[in-house]
């Protein structure tokens, strides 16, 4: 059996440079851009507790608690989840939060738990459920307020609310979104996005469902508010009006595999390997891997192992799908290969 700690994926949030990212397709029909971790990890209960076990050097305890509380509220406002801080040092909590420097806990011994890199660069990272840990780089200058550059100190002052809200999304089971307006977009730190966007709401509600916020939802629905005041009812009575999720026609369908891709039936638990392209030591190309159109950004030990031209998966319900490798050179895709993997039906037991 694979140890539990090897099944945990660390989500890393970095400061991204370059030009501001904008959405040039805002007038086109909305498509699904959020990503739920392919392993399917999520909390099995809705009343989630958290505890701050190590505070930052640049922000007092009261403001730290306030910032973290605001960040959690952004998710409780759009989902059935509730969050409560545990202050008793002896009590356990679902999610633990700490501010650390280079070497913290087990980062030197685990490839899934990177050490921090000092001032600037990586700000924080989080672990999927059920591990429930969020780590912030204590070399950074954390503040309660919007991120800005301090000319007096010569450093960036980082908005703890914004970064914490992004990392909480990972600790609840979300991956990075492709929507540049989303809080879960990897460039959210650079763009300054502080609030959950519609794409984030769709993602969290896909994991945990939604609850009506008002007791008068039934009378409002009978008055026709579901159709005439859709935005208002989506905020207050999404369950009553069946507005929890985006319409099915707005969800991007994965690109079908090429006609020459054969479906391979694999027994549950078998390790399946793929190799992308041929080895070229003189000019090694860049290789990217995709599952059902979503890019695989990192390995998930116990499920998906990605190393250069090679990809290995363990056949199970989460890993069924179409795997595609693309070879890039000088920014162009020079070749692509796809494999369709399906679970072989298990034979009924004779007992």
Q: Where residue 196 falls among pLDDT bands split at 50, 70, 90?
A: very high
- In the numeric block, the tokens 């969050």 are attached to 83
Kindly give, in sequence order, each residue whose CB lies less than 8 Å from that of residue 166, ignoring residues fewer than 6 positions away. Answer: 13, 124, 183, 184, 188, 189
- Per-residue pLDDT of 6-54, as tens digits, reads 333 344 343 333 222 233 333 333 445 666 666 668 899 999 999 999 8
pLDDT of residue 171: 93
Q: Which residue has the higher pLDDT, 36 or 69?
A: 69
Whether the predicted pLDDT of 133 surpasses 70 = yes
Contact 202, 37 (CB under 8 A): no
Kindly give, in sequence order, each residue whose CB lies less than 8 Å from that of residue 17, ignoring residues fewer than 6 positions away. Answer: 190
pLDDT of residue 10: 40
pLDDT of residue 47: 93
Distance CA 286, CA 333 (A): 9
- In the numeric block, the tokens 């759009």 are attached to 78
- In the numeric block, the tokens 């190309």 are attached to 285
Contact 108, 22 (CB under 8 A): no
Average pLDDT of span 92-111: 72
Distance CA 315, CA 345 (A): 12
Class of domain 4-206: alpha beta
* 61: enclosing H helix or E strand: helix 61-76
Backbone angles phi, psi at 203, to 5 degrees: -65, -50
pLDDT of residue 69: 96
Q: Where residue 70 falls among pLDDT bands split at 50, 70, 90?
A: very high
Whether the predicted pLDDT of 110 surpasses 60 = no
- Per-residue pLDDT of 80-100, as tens digits, reads 899 999 988 778 999 999 898
For the chain, the structural domain boundaries read 4-206, 210-243, 263-343
Average pLDDT of span 329-337: 69
Average pLDDT of span 132-159: 81
Whether the predicted pLDDT of 4 surpasses 70 = no
Contact 105, 96 (CB under 8 A): no
Termini Cα distance of the chain: 25
Sign for the CA dihedral angle at 154, 159, 164, 170 comes to negative
Share of the chain above pLDDT 70, in %: 69
Using alpha carbons, list the distances in angstroms from residue 275 to 279, 295, 323, 336: 10, 16, 11, 11
Tokens of 123: 């700000």
317 is catalytic: no
Residue 333 has a CB neighbour count (10 Å cut-off) of: 11
- Per-residue pLDDT of 290-317, as tens digits, reads 887 777 766 765 667 888 788 888 887 6
- In the numeric block, the tokens 């984030």 are attached to 200
Catalytic residue among 122, 167, 246, 347: 167
pLDDT of residue 211: 79
Per-residue DSSP letter, 227:
H
pLDDT of residue 61: 94
Q: For the chain, what is the mean pLDDT?
A: 75
pLDDT of residue 95: 96
Kindly give, in sequence order, each residue whose CB lies less than 8 Å from that of residue 144, ignoring residues fewer than 6 positions away. Answer: 59, 63, 64, 66, 67, 160, 161
Average pLDDT of span 313-341: 77
- Per-residue pLDDT of 269-279, as tens digits, reads 888 888 887 66
- Per-residue pLDDT of 214-271, as tens digits, reads 778 888 888 888 888 888 887 788 888 887 765 433 434 444 555 567 788 888 888 8
CA atoms within 13 A on the CB side of 299: 15
**Strand order of the sheet with strand 133-137?**
10-14, 122-127, 133-137, 95-100, 47-54, 82-85
Q: Which residue has the higher pLDDT, 24 or 344?
A: 344
pLDDT of residue 331: 66
Find which of 23-32, 105-114, 116-125, 246-255 is predicted with most confidence, using mean pLDDT. Answer: 116-125
Distance CA 177, CA 43 (A): 20
pLDDT of residue 18: 29
Q: Which residue has the higher pLDDT, 319 or 110?
A: 319
Whether the predicted pLDDT of 348 surpasses 80 = no
pLDDT of residue 251: 39
Q: One fold for both 4-206 and 263-343?
A: no
Residue 100 has a CB neighbour count (10 Å cut-off) of: 18
**Strand order of the sheet with strand 141-143?**
141-143, 155-159, 148-150
Cis ω on the peptide bond leading into residue 130 (within 30° of 0)?
yes
Contact 44, 132 (CB under 8 A): no
61-76 vs 160-171: helix axis angle to the nearest 10?
50
For the chain, how long is the longest CA-to-CA vector? Answer: 76
Residue 146 has a CB neighbour count (10 Å cut-off) of: 12
CATH assignment of 263-343, among 1.10.579.10, 2.60.40.10, 2.40.50.140, 3.40.640.10: 2.60.40.10
């Amino acid at each position: 059996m694979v140890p539990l700690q090897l099944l945990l994926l660390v989500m890393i949030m970095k400061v991204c440079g370059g030009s501001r990212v904008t959405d040039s397709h805002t007038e086109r029909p909305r498509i699904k851009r959020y990503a739920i971790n392919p392993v399917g990890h999520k909390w099995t209960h809705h009343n989630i507790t958290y505890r701050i076990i190590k505070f930052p050097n640049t922000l007092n305890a009261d403001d730290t608690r306030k910032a973290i509380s605001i960040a959690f509220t952004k998710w409780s406002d759009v989902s059935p989840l509730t969050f409560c801080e545990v202050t008793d040092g002896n009590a356990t909590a679902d999610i633990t939060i700490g501010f650390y420097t280079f070497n913290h806990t087990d980062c030197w011994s685990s490839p899934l738990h990177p050490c921090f890199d000092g001032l600037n660069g990586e700000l924080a990272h989080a672990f999927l459920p059920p591990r429930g840990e969020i780590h912030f780089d204590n070399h950074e200058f954390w503040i309660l307020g919007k991120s800005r550059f301090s000319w007096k100190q010569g450093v960036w002052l980082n908005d703890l609310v914004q970064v914490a809200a992004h990392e909480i999304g990972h600790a609840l089971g979300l991956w990075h979104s492709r929507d540049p307006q989303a809080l879960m977009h990897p460039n959210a730190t650079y763009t300054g996005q502080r609030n959950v966007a519609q794409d984030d709401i769709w993602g969290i509600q896909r994991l945990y469902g939604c609850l009506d916020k008002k007791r008068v939802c039934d009378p409002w629905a009978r008055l026709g508010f579901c159709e005439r005041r859709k935005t208002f009812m989506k905020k207050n009575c999404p369950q009553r009006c069946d507005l929890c999720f985006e319409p099915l026609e707005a969800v991007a369908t994965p690109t079908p595999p090429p006609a020459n891709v054969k479906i391979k039936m694999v027994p549950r638990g078998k390790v399946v390997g793929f190799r992308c392209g041929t080895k070229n030591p003189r000019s090694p190309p860049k290789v990217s891997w995709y599952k059902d159109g979503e890019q695989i950004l990192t390995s998930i030990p116990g499920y998906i192992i990605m190393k250069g031209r090679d990809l290995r998966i363990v056949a199970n319900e989460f890993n069924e799908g179409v795997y595609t490798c693309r070879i890039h050179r000088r920014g162009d895709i020079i070749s692509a290969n796809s494999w369709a993997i399906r679970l072989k039906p298990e034979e009924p037991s004779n007992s």
